[in-house]
Every structure is written in structure tokens, then in C-alpha cells.
Amino acid sequence: MLVRVHLYGPFRSTVAERSFDLPDGARVSDLRAAFARVEMNHPLLARSRFATEEGVLQENERLASGMILAVIAPVSGG
């Protein structure tokens, strides 16, 4: 199944979006592992979250073909 991930902040180097072909029944944790392979395990990836327009996803949530997600890096400031 194909899912698309919009990239922002530190994950947006040269492209605004990446597509991932994942097995049926894949979960957010599977997407994170696939993302780590193409982003060379970016140092912020472990603390970042994946989200849809409806909200932030948990690691064990199943993904559906055609989903569009965003990877959100941790935010800090004052």
C-alpha cells in the first residue's frame, strides 16, 4: 500500500514529500522504520510524531493505502 508523508522543518531538505510502499496492515512503527532508512535515521526522528489532518497517530495504529501524513519534529522555544 502507498502512503505519502509531507515533510516540514528539519526533515524538509530537498523534497517536500516522500512516498512509501508499505505492506498491507502496516502500522505507524513500520512507517517510522521505512522513514529512518531513507532519512539515514535522522537524529530527531525518534522524538517526532506522525499525524493526519485528524490528529497525531500512535505507534501501533494501522495505516491505510492512500493516507497522507505529516512528520512533525519536536518544537521548543520560549
For residue 25, the model assigns a pLDDT of 96
User: What are the C-alpha distances in Å from 12 to residues 15, 26, 51, 70, 77?
Assistant: 6, 24, 16, 11, 20
Predicted structure pTM score: 0.88
| Collapsed DSSP state (helix, strand, coil) of residue 30 | helix
Domains of the chain in start order, with CATH, are 2-72 (3.10.20.30)
For residue 15, the model assigns a pLDDT of 83
Task: Identify the segments of the chain with pLDDT beneath 70.
Answer: 40, 77-78
For residue 10, the model assigns a pLDDT of 84
- Residue 45: closest CA among 53, 55, 59, 35: 35
